[in-house]
Structure 1
C-alpha cells in the first residue's frame, strides 16, 4: 500500500508539471495555480527527491522544469548523485530567456553555492553567440555574470555590458549594429527582431515597412506571430492548432486544404514510427465552453484536443479512427468552444464502435448530466469489459489547483495531464502507472530508463 501511495504522489506531481504553468485557467486564478504548484514542488522534493530530479527527463513544461532546477539548486545539502547532469541537460533545452530569468531568481534568493556557480558558468560558456546574447538578453546576461563573478571571454562583449561608453565602435557586427541603431535607422535591420522592434518604434518606422525589411532576421515563430502567410509546414502540432483556431471561420474554410494538410503533416511527424500501429481508435474530444481556456491561455484546451484528433488519426490503422466531439460537430477545422460537456453520452457512442483504444481528451468537468461519464466507465470496466479488451485513457489539458491534480473521470480509468498534443503517445504510456496496479518500484524503473535515454541524447 505504501508503494502505491508513493506512486500516486509522484504521478500527481507529473500531471501537474505537465499541465500547470502558474497562469489563470478557466476555473482557477493565477494565485491559486501558483500556490498549488508551490506546495506540490516542496512536497515531492522533500519526500521523493530522486524522482523529483528525474522529472527533468520527462515531458514536463518549461515553467515547471525551471522550478525543479531552482528548487534543486536552492537545497545543495540534499543533493543526490547525477542531479548536476540532469540539470545541465535540461537547461540546454530551455529557451534562453527562461534560463536567464531562472538565474535572476537564484541571484535574488542569494543562492550562490559552488554547484550553482559551476552550472551557470557551464551554461554561459556553451552559448553559441555571446554577443547576440549581450544584445538580446542584456539584463539577464549581466545579472548571471555578476552572480558568478564572471566576465565574458570576449573583451568587446564585456565592455558592451559593463562599460558601454568605453568604445566608439565595435569589431563585432552585432554589437556595432546595436550602437549604430540609436541614430542610424538602417542599422536596426541587422539586429534580432525583438531588439529591432524597440528601435523601430523609436525611429517611427511604419509597422508594415519594418516587418517587410526585418523578415530575414525573424525566427519561424516570430514570422508566424507577425504574418498569417508564414510557412506552416514546419510548425509543431499544438502550435499549429492554436494558429488555426485563431483564424476566422471564413478564412479556415477558404484555406481548408492548406490547413488540413499542414495539421496532418504535423501529426505524421509527431506519430513517427508509431503511425498506423494503434489499431481501431475512438476519441472523445471536448469542445465545450470551458475549452476556451482563459485570457492568458486562450483556446489552449481546445487546441490540444484538435491536435490530439489529428495525431490519433495518424496513429490509428487506416480507416479505423472514430472522432466524437462533445458538441456533436463533425468538422474539426471549424470547432469552437461552445455549450456543456456531455462526456457520458459521447463515451457511450465511442464504446459502441468496439475500439481497441478509447482516448478521452477533456478537462474532466462532465456536467450534462453530471457524473454520467464516470458511471459509464465504471460499469464498462467492471461489468462489460473486465478483461480490458478496450484500453481507455483520459488525457486532461487543465490543472485543477484545488485538487492538486488534473480532474479525473473514474478511478478505473488512468488519467494523465497533457499540455502538447505531440506528447500523447508518451503520456498514454505513463498513464498505465495511474491505474493502481503497479507500484513505486515499477515507476522508478520506468523513470530510470527515461533518465538514461534523456542523458544519452543530451550528451551524445
Structure 2
C-alpha cells in the first residue's frame, strides 16, 4: 500500500511521540529543566490524543515508561466525552492491563491526579474500583499507601469491606483489628518490637518515632525489605553490618544493576570486579533470553562523556543505559565490540567525564564494517555537523546497499525538539529508557527511518496490542 504525504506525516508524528514516551519522564535533564520537559511532553500528549486517539491508546502496549503510561491513562479518562463508544470499549482493557503493570505508588499517584483534576466520570470510578478489587494484598495497600488509598476510595465513592473503612478514616479508634497487618500497624504506635513486621518504608517512620538507631533498625528490618529496597540500601547495609539486607545482584534487572554499579566509587568497583561483571553478564543473558548469540557481529558506540551524568533527578541514567547496552550486546551478538566515546576500554570503570567526540568513534566503528552498529548517546556531539555528514556520506555513498544497519538509541528527551536529538537524518533515532528494551527498539527503528509507512506502523501496533492483552503473566 502506497502512503500519501499525509500518511507519512502522521507516521512521523506517531514515531516522534513514541520516542518521547519512551525516553521522557518530565524530570530535569542535563540540558533542560523539568518544567521544559513537562511542557514538551504535555504538548505531545494533547496533540497525539487529539489527532490519533486509537494510536495514542495503543502506545500503552509498547515499552513506554511508567510516567507516560500514567499520563496516557489520565488523558484518556479526562477526555472520555470526546471518544466514541467503540473507542471507549477498545481503551478499557488496555487501561486496566497497563494500570495493573504500574508500580502501586504510581497508580495511586495517578488516582490522586484524577481527583485533583476532577476527573470523576463513571468509567474512571469503575477503573479505580476494579483496580482496588484486583490488588493481591489489600491489607498491605492499606498500610503502605494509606493516604493515597483513602483519597482514591473517596474520589471513586468506594465502599470498603470489613475493617478497611475504619482503618482509613479513624485508624486508632478500634482496640484491636482482626486483620493481622492492620493490628501490627496499630501496635507499632505503642510497641517498638511490632514495627519490624511492617513494610520497610512504613517501619522507618515508626523507628524514628521510637528513637531507634538507624544501624539497629536496618539489621532487624532486613528480612522485610523488598529487593528494590535492599538494593537502594546497600551502602547503608554495609555500614550497619546487616548482611541479610544485601541483595543477590544476579537477580537484579540489567539497567537497574548498571545504575547501582555506577553509584559505587572506582576503588570498590575494582575490588568487586568479579562479582559485578558476573552479575552484569548474568543479567544481560537473562534480558537477551532466546535472542542470545543471534545478532552476528555487532559494534556499538557508547557515550560516557560528561553529559551522560544526566541530572540530579536522573543521576547517571544515560551512562547506566549505555553500560547496560554494552553487556546486553555482548549477550546478543556472536561477536561484539564497544567503542566508548572517552576512548576508555574498561566498561566497569565507566564514569561521566570529558567531551563528546562522537564522530571519531562512529568512524572507528564503521571502519570495521560491522553488519550492525548501535549508537547509544544523547546525540550532542562536539562537532554535530561533522557527525551528521559522516553518517550521511556513509549511508548514501559508502554503503547505499545498507550492508551495515545503523541505529541511534537516545536515552534523553529533548524538550525543545519534542523528540530525542538525532545524529543524522540518514539514520533512525529511537528513544530508550532501559537496555532490556533494546531488541524491540531496534525493530521500531524502521519506522523512524521512514522505510515503513503508516499502514505498517498501525499493523505493528495492532500486533503489539494483541500480544500485550493476551499475555496473562505478570504485567511488569
Structures share fold, TM-score greater than 0.5: yes
Indicate yes or no: 2:95 matched with 1:115: no
Per-residue deviation, 1:164: 2.3
Report what 1:78 is aligned to: 82
1:102 is matched with which residue?
A: 110
Correspondence for 1:218 among 221, 225, 233:
225
Match of 1:178 in 2: 185
Q: Does 1:384 align with 2:388?
A: no
Deviations 1:59-113 (CA, angstroms, capped at 9, x unpaired): 0000000000000000112331310000000000001111111111111211111
Q: Is the 8 A contact 2:409 2:432 kept in 1?
A: yes
Give distance in 1, aligned partners of 2:256 and 2:290: 22
Instruction: State whether structure 2 residue 10 is matched by structure 1 residue 3.
Output: no
- Residue in 2 aligned with 1:397? 411
Alignment partner, residue 296 of structure 1: 313
Partners of 1:285 and 1:344 in 2: CA distance: 12
User: For the residues of structure 2 that align with 1:370 and 1:102, how far apart are their CA atoms?
Assistant: 39
CA apart distance, 1:166: 3.5
Contact residue 269 and residue 348 of structure 2 kept, 8 A: yes
Give a deviation string over 1:294-325, Cα, whole Å, max 9, x none: 011000000000000000111110xx211100
Is the contact made by 1:4 and 1:438 (CA closer than 8 Å) also made in structure 2? Answer: no
Indicate yes or no: 2:462 matched with 1:424. Answer: no
After superposition, give the CA deviation of every residue in 1:196-221 in whole Å (9 maximum; x if it has no partner). Answer: 00000111111111011111111001
Instruction: Give the match for residue 456 of structure 1.
Output: 470
Give 2:163's aligned residue: 156
CA distance in 2, matches of 1:261, 1:9: 41
In structure 2, C-alpha distance between the alignment counterparts of 1:59 and 1:271, rounded to whole Å:
16
Unpaired stretches in structure 2, ≥5 consecutive residues: 236-245
Partner of 2:298: 281
Query: What residue is the counterpart of 2:213 in the other structure?
Result: 206
Measured against aligned partners, the alpha-carbon deviations of 1:372-420 in whole angstroms (never above 9, x if no partner) come to 2211110011001101011000000000001000000111101100010
Q: Are positions 1:321 and 2:325 aligned together?
A: no
Scaled by the length of structure 1, the TM-score of the pair is 0.98
How far apart are residue 459 of structure 1 and its match? 7.7
Shift of 1:149: 1.2
C-alpha RMSD of matched pairs (Å): 1.1
**Which deviates more, 143-152 or 331-340?**
143-152
| SS, match of residue 167 in structure 1 | coil
Segments of 5+ residues of structure 1 without an aligned counterpart are: none
Q: Which of 351, 375, 383 is the aligned partner of 2:389? A: 375
* Alignment-derived partner of residue 60 in structure 2: 56
Give runs of aligned pairs for residues 219-368 of structure 1, distance below 5 A: 219-228=226-235, 229-317=246-334, 320-367=335-382
**1:87 lines up with 2:95 in the alignment:** yes
CA contact (8 A) 1:89 1:458 kept: no
**Counterpart-to-counterpart distance in 2, 1:404 and 1:323:** 29
The number of aligned residues is 456
Q: Is the 8 A contact 2:359 2:381 kept in 1?
A: yes
Q: Relative to structure 2, which stretch is displaced further, 443-452 or 139-148? A: 139-148
